[in-house]
Structure 1
Amino acid sequence: MTADVVSWILLLAIAAYACGGGVDYGAGFWDLLAGGAERGKRPRWLVDHAMAPVWEVNNVWLIFVLILMWTGFPVFFQTVFTALWLPLALAAVGMVLRGAGFALRKPTRRLAARRVYGAVFAIASLLTPFFLGTVIGGVASGRVAPGTTASADAWANTTSIMAGLIAVAATAFLGAVFLSVDARRFDAPDLVRYFRIRAWAGSAALLVLGVIGLTVTDPHASYVHHGLTHGAGLGLLLASLAALAVTAWLVAGPAAGWARYSAVAVVALGIAAWGFAQHPYLVPTSLTVQQGAGASAPLQWMLIVAAVALVLIGPALVVLYRLDTHGALEPLTDEDVDR
């Protein structure tokens, strides 16, 4: 029972990182496609101002995921990090390069160096969610059973590649929706239109890739495919589809601010559908939650830690996100400093 509860907390933490971090990765994706220095100046200006206050905080969820894995499910942790160390290492390198590029490009005065740092930030924002998605695909396909050695087949397969593409599409969708709302906050109507179109394009890409991904999981990940097309998994997928349609409608209307919540619901419900489709397995069909769980004492402590985090960290993050979305965390300008 305790192991099941901790496994659902782990899934919740993955969803939180996918939604929070996904917005930032999506902003970097559109930064990559913004064009040259002159053409992309305005979109990149919005990306810098919208991301600056909170872009680092989303890594809290990733750290929580890792702690839950190696403490609560050590067999699962060993299995994943043994068989899929290469895409995980590439994703980790991408996170470091992405953070360095974003932090260094703004204060850099030389245009050539700024372009280099900007390119590093943007390319890493594309590759990092892709490699993380391939890891999820490798797990969902059941190719990383305990004892599996590292190989390209574990993550460079049809299911993994489709999961990576869906992860990129989801981040692009989230980033465009949030940036379209941020453009209203910064009183930039040209960027509202700019990112609204990209939000629609991202939603269309996510829908198409999701349908294709659901199709290819049939022969390559039959257990998860059955879970996604029946019962709770199917219901959550349909709810995610409904949230996608609502987001596409909200982003063009006067209540566009609500599109943020519906966009987050799209991704969160999709991840929940994967969790229900895979239950009770951590790795279908070779490692169940109970088989991969650690000793009962660490699991009980994980519940206590999760409860403490919910009470102490949860409200702080809610306040932080709320202050950011209401424009209360804007960095000081040169004029502010002078005054």
Structure 2
Amino acid sequence: MIPAVNAVSGPSVATLAVAVVLLVTVAGYALFAGADLGGGTWDLLAGGDERGARPREEIDASVTPVWEGNHVWIIFGLVVFWTGFPSAFSAVMVALFVPLALSLLGIVLRGVGFAFRHEAQRPATTRLYGALFAASSLLTPFFLGTAVGAVATGAIPADPSGNLLGAWTSPTAIVTGLLFVATCAYVAGVYLVADCERRGHDDMARYFRLRSLAAGLVTGVLAAINLVLLARSAPYLWAGLTGPALPAVAASVLGGVAALALLPGRRPMLLRGATALAVVGVVAGWGVAQYPWVLPGAVTLAQSAAPEPAQLALFVALGLALLLVFPAFVWLYWLQQHGMLLESHPPPVPAGARAGEDLAERTEPAGTPPRYAADRHRGLEAVVLLVVAGGALRDAVRQLVSGWRRGR
């Protein structure tokens, strides 16, 4: 049971504003980075080299110009969280260290795979990096979803002593993780349908349309299962979703149904808008239903809020970001949507330069194909990054084992 909250200790207007900014950031990450992560899911399901070549070309054309910028949303969100609500941030980072570390590992490995597979020249190396990119695209949303499920069910205490294994491995948290994966795939599929239509690739638009429809149905089923689980594991949240947050939930359902109805047509702007409404409605409903708690049953917005000077400094930083970063994002997305960020073909190589290349190739050690020499350097870079990621994974496993032993 969640204890009652004294109305006198309600959050200030500034604290509410910070909470709204945090929710907007979560919605932005779900829409933009979620589409990138979902693209990795469709990359994984595209098939072998020959069969999956066309879908992967479409995914690359949509994701390549913006994938690095989209993850600015999560950095921005973390800054707002730890600055605006430091005690709640500390509790979440301690209790959910393992799933959050694994999601971060997925982001790192996903970047490694996506960047290096476009540079690798050996087919086997390209497939290796492609598999790394696709698998990591599942890893990140799943573990972020389990973390959100743990927070939503009130499983995070105000002062945790270490990783809480049961918090993020409960049925509700696991289904939330699967729901995040399905939602990312659905959002990505919808965006890819619109992008393929804009490029005039009607056959690929049909390809992603069918898969988006399947992903949308799976997302709806998982959302229904999650609501049933929430009614039992988090009755206070269920009461909020069916009470004050009901308009947002209804808007989300309406947006999801409208997006499914619009998929067979050729109205990309309406389709994307309906999909965005479905995602934003879920985030808004979660925030309203959980109010006034940051960590349900443990810490409220008012209790976790930073001092007023820190909030004012945060608003100054937010204003600068709105002034400097937001226009750059708008410009980036405008260029991407107008096909102005596609990779251009390299200029012709002069004959003299070609002769120099031939001479360099003849100096390669015997038995080493010269055209694959660059792979050695990229492979070394990948090994270094994998060692760093392996260290993070080792720390996560240690925390997991430590938490399991304490729980025995």
What is aligned with 1:293? 305
What is aligned with 1:270? 282
Deviations 1:122-181 (A, max 9, x none): 000011000001110000011111122312101001121111111111100011001111
2:266 aligned residue (250, 254, 257): 254
Whether 1:113 and 2:125 are equivalent positions in the alignment is yes
What is aligned with 2:70? 58
Find the aligned partners of 2:267 and 2:334 in 1 and give their Cα distance: 17
Find the aligned partners of 1:213 and 1:151 in 2 and give their Cα distance: 21
1:217 aligned residue (205, 227, 230): 230
Deviation, structure 1 residue 229: 1.3
TM-score (normalised: structure 2): 0.80
Whether 1:157 and 2:170 are equivalent positions in the alignment is yes
What is aligned with 2:218? 205
- Percent of aligned positions with the same letter in both sequences? 40
Deviations 1:89-123 (A, max 9, x none): 00011000001100010121111111110000000
Q: SS in structure 2 opposite 1:282?
A: strand
**For residue 313 of structure 1, what is the amino acid of its counterpart?**
V
> Rg: which structure is higher?
2
Find the aligned partners of 2:330 and 2:262 in 1 and give their Cα distance: 22
Deviation, structure 1 residue 217: 0.3
What is aligned with 1:172? 185
Find the aligned partners of 2:310 and 2:345 in 1 and give their Cα distance: 48
Find the aligned partners of 2:209 and 2:183 in 1 and give their Cα distance: 15
Find the aligned partners of 1:183 and 1:218 in 2 and give their Cα distance: 40
Find the aligned partners of 2:171 and 2:305 in 1 and give their Cα distance: 29
Find the aligned partners of 2:328 and 2:275 in 1 and give their Cα distance: 22
Q: Which stretch of the first structure deviates more once superposed, 258-267 or 268-277? A: 258-267
Structure 1 stretches of at least 4 aligned residues deviating more than 6 Å after TM superposition: none
What is aligned with 2:242? 229
1:147 aligned residue (135, 155, 159): 159
Q: SS in structure 1 opposite 2:69?
A: coil
What is aligned with 1:282? 294
Q: SS in structure 2 opposite 1:57?
A: helix
**For residue 219 of structure 1, what is the amino acid of its counterpart?**
R
Q: SS in structure 2 opposite 1:174?
A: helix
Q: SS in structure 1 opposite 2:119?
A: coil
Whether the 8 Å contact between 1:3 and 1:289 is mirrored in structure 2 is yes
Deviation, structure 1 residue 277: 0.6
Deviations 1:225-284 (A, max 9, x none): 1111112x1111110111112212223212123312221221111111101110110011
Whether 1:193 and 2:202 are equivalent positions in the alignment is no
Whether 1:71 and 2:83 are equivalent positions in the alignment is yes
Deviation, structure 1 residue 16: 0.7
TM-score (normalised: structure 1): 0.96
> Structure 2 stretches of 5 or more lacking a match?
1-11, 350-408
Whether 1:86 and 2:76 are equivalent positions in the alignment is no
Find the aligned partners of 1:278 and 1:326 in 2 and give their Cα distance: 40
**Count of residues in Structure 1 that have an aligned counterpart in Structure 2:** 336
Whether 1:183 and 2:191 are equivalent positions in the alignment is no
What is aligned with 2:323? 311
Whether the 8 Å contact between 1:30 and 1:172 is mirrored in structure 2 is yes
Deviations 1:194-236 (A, max 9, x none): 10001111111111111111110011111111111112x1111
Whether the 8 Å contact between 1:236 and 1:272 is mirrored in structure 2 is yes
| Cα RMSD (Å) | 1.3
1:95 aligned residue (97, 107, 122): 107
Deviation, structure 1 residue 59: 1.3
Whether 1:329 and 2:341 are equivalent positions in the alignment is yes
1:18 aligned residue (30, 34, 37): 30
**For residue 344 of structure 2, what is the amino acid of its counterpart?**
L
Deviations 1:262-307 (A, max 9, x none): 2122111111110111011001121100111121111111122222
Q: SS in structure 2 opposite 1:56?
A: helix
**For residue 83 of structure 1, what is the amino acid of its counterpart?**
A
Whether the 8 Å contact between 1:172 and 1:202 is mirrored in structure 2 is yes
Whether the 8 Å contact between 1:53 and 1:331 is mirrored in structure 2 is no
Find the aligned partners of 1:311 and 1:266 in 2 and give their Cα distance: 28
Whether the 8 Å contact between 1:173 and 1:206 is mirrored in structure 2 is yes
Whether the 8 Å contact between 1:141 and 1:221 is mirrored in structure 2 is yes
What is aligned with 2:355? none
